[in-house]
Amino acid sequence: MRTQFVAKVVLLSTLFVPLTFAQTAPASDSGIPKFTSRSELVMVPVVVTDKSGQHVKGLKKEDFAVLQNGKSMPIAVFDEINTQDTALPPHQTPDGVFSNAVPTDNVSRRVMVIVMDLLNTPFADSADARRALFNNAKVLIDAHIPVSLMVINSTGLHEIFGLHSDPRILETALDRVGTPNPTDLHESATFGWDLGDKYLYNQYQETVAQLQNSIGGPGTKLGTSNPNPEAAYQSYRTHHDVEITLFSLEQLAHAYSGIPGRKIMIWITGGLPMNILDPTSISAYGDIMLDTYRRTFLVLNAANFSVYPVDAHGLGLESMSKHLNLTSTMNAFADATGGTAFYNRNDIGVGIRNAVQDAVQYYEIGYYLPHESHGKPQWEKIKVKVDRKETAVRTRDGFFSGYSEKPEPKSLKMEMELAFASPVAYTGFPIAIKVSALASGANLTFDLTVPPRSFRIDRENNNFANIEFAAVALGPHHQSSGIFARRITGNLTLENADHIESQGFAMHDTITLPANTNRVKFVIRDNLTGKIGSVVARLNTNSK
């Protein structure tokens, strides 16, 4: 039986200024999703290189043309970004205050995330890829790029080396990723590669048993479309692996979305076990997979991530179908985010070095979408042209438009659950939590502070705001022992809307914690933009 938090009811009127609502008719609460019809600014990072692969600098706005679905779009924002190799300093907070805020010093940094995909990569290839990455660690250390090292395995996403860590210990961190000895891997609870397989098969068998019991009892046949239970399990495993991968990439994008500028993700993988030609072809795998895939690309593009998939398999022999799955997946992710896929080569260091070089300089181009509603999310094709001979242009080839301001309940629930499960804090919605009672099993008084312009106030809809706020109590063994949630929504008066945009807001509340709680994780989501922030408040300690 789940223990619930005891919480006071809080509306917008509890914010630090005495907020009042404008007198308007209540918004419809129908199940029909509402899609934005305002003109939205689309930002497109662009890398331009000459025939020798060197960056072309000094281009002007007039040298570029942007087309969406073949139609020329007026360029509203243009900037040439030359990044710096300075470290990302940690955000300092007083004792008892926990924050997900990132530095706001207006420095354009080179930020790189290396993802070792152990879930979709055979053991031998993963070991080779780790050794190759270890051998190329000096490239990253010498480049002075803020780097984080992440692992995706059957249990999800894991952080090995944080962005604020000293790059000189990257080689030591790589030693933690894996080991050539399979026995050691299976004894590891954190970095095992196939530890989840037995659990997954048991989960699959439980699902089958539940279906049998709901139809006619144990032994009832569930149809003849897949009479081979082993094949049925493999299909189940395939969908599970793809979902875990997409969930992990979504969590990564949310974690780094608060850091300004273009970011590089080097995804060392064996490829997803499915054939994806472009983001629209995922619809063949069902509506749930389409929603997950679409959400992943929305977040990757919003976070300004360019994905550089690197083939962990090298030049080894493999079946034609597996090779097609690998290359199609890698190209789909690279093309949709403005990265480059590297495969059919044994030296993954080439991909790493090229990605490092790409991070040095780029152009940021922005244009406004037409003032119209698409009715539903759809893939919009982008093409960028440069009026300069013998140049190559690399940018993302499209994006999903029609962001829903009222997401489906299942999708919203999944986003919040992923935020709670993420090993790294979400930074898209900056928040600070100050706790004034640090006793386990007692009332916890907290103050939530949100900086100015952290969430959208819809001025065209009578200053409407819509925020999801939730918290989960965590015990010593990572178990969730309670949940507290509320939605803060309504139309603000003009005075209050102006005040919040210039000053931010704060909320004060008290919750009763279950016994053995040692941490509370807070998650906040702007339902008008999809931006999410999260922070963990640790109890009985001042460490952050």
Domain ranges of the chain: 6-33+412-538, 41-83+364-401, 111-179+194-359
Please determine, for residue 438, whether its predicted confidence score (pLDDT) is greater than 80: no
Strands 71-73, 64-68: pairing kind: antiparallel
311, 293 contact by CB (below 8 A): no
519 pLDDT band (50/70/90 cuts)?
confident
Which range is most confident: 99-108, 233-242, 247-256, 363-372?
247-256
pLDDT band at residue 21 using 50, 70 and 90 as cut-offs: very low
**CA atoms of 432 and 450, how far apart (whole Å):** 7
Instruction: Kindly tell me the burial class for residue 319, based on how many C-beta atoms sit within 10 Å of its own C-beta (0-12, 13-18, 19 or more).
Output: exposed
The highest-confidence range among 173-187, 214-228, 391-405, 487-501, by mean pLDDT, is 487-501
Helices (H) and strands (E) in the chain, counts: 11, 22
What does the block give as tokens for 245?
A: 């991968």
Q: What is the mean pLDDT of residues 349-358?
A: 80
Q: Residue 263: which pLDDT band, with cuts at 50, 70 and 90?
A: very high
Q: Residue 121 in 3-state DSSP?
A: coil
Position 177 confidence tier, pLDDT thresholds 50, 70, 90: low
Distance CA 295, CA 399 (A): 11
* Helix, strand or coil, per DSSP, at residue 378: strand
Which range (320-329, 460-469, 525-534) has the least confidence?
A: 320-329
What pLDDT, on a 0 to 100 scale, did the predictor assign at position 221? 47
Lowest-confidence range among 203-212, 245-254, 392-401? 203-212
Q: Which of 26-30, 328-332, 488-492 has the lowest mean pLDDT?
A: 26-30
At how many degrees (to 10) do helices 287-302 and 320-337 cross? 40
Average pLDDT over residues 509-536: 88
User: Any idea which fold 6-33+412-538 has?
Assistant: Immunoglobulin-like (2.60.40)
Q: Containing H/E element for 384?
A: strand 378-386
Global model pTM greater than 0.85: no
- At 3 the pLDDT is 34
Q: Quick one: average pLDDT of 126-141?
A: 70
Nearest Cα to Cα of residue 102 among 506, 426, 447, 435 = 426
Is it the case that residue 390 has pLDDT exceeding 50? yes
Look at residue 351 and tell me whether its pLDDT is greater than 60.
Answer: yes
State the CATH class of domain 111-179+194-359.
alpha beta
pLDDT (average), residues 289-317: 82
What distance in Å separates the CA atoms of residue 48 and residue 65, rounded to the nearest whole number? 13
Q: What is the mean pLDDT of residues 291-313?
A: 87
Q: Residue 368 class from Cβ within 10 Å (0-12 exposed, 13-18 middle, 19+ buried)?
A: middle
Report the pLDDT value the prediction gives residue 108, as an integer from 0 to 100.
Answer: 83
Which carries the bigger pLDDT value, residue 400 or residue 318? Answer: 400
What's 61's DSSP letter? G
Q: pLDDT band at residue 65, thresholds of 50, 70 and 90?
A: very high
The tokens of 273 are what?
């076990």
Q: What is the mean pLDDT of the chain?
A: 75
Is the pLDDT score of 405 beyond 50? yes
Q: Check residue 172 and give its pLDDT.
A: 67
**Whether the predicted pLDDT of 357 surpasses 90:** no
Q: What's the token pair of residue 271?
A: 């490829």
Of the two residues 525 and 350, the one the predictor is more confident about is 525
User: Which tens digits make up the pLDDT trace of 83-114?
Assistant: 887 777 777 788 889 999 887 777 788 888 98
Least confident of 199-208, 234-243, 387-396, 517-526: 199-208
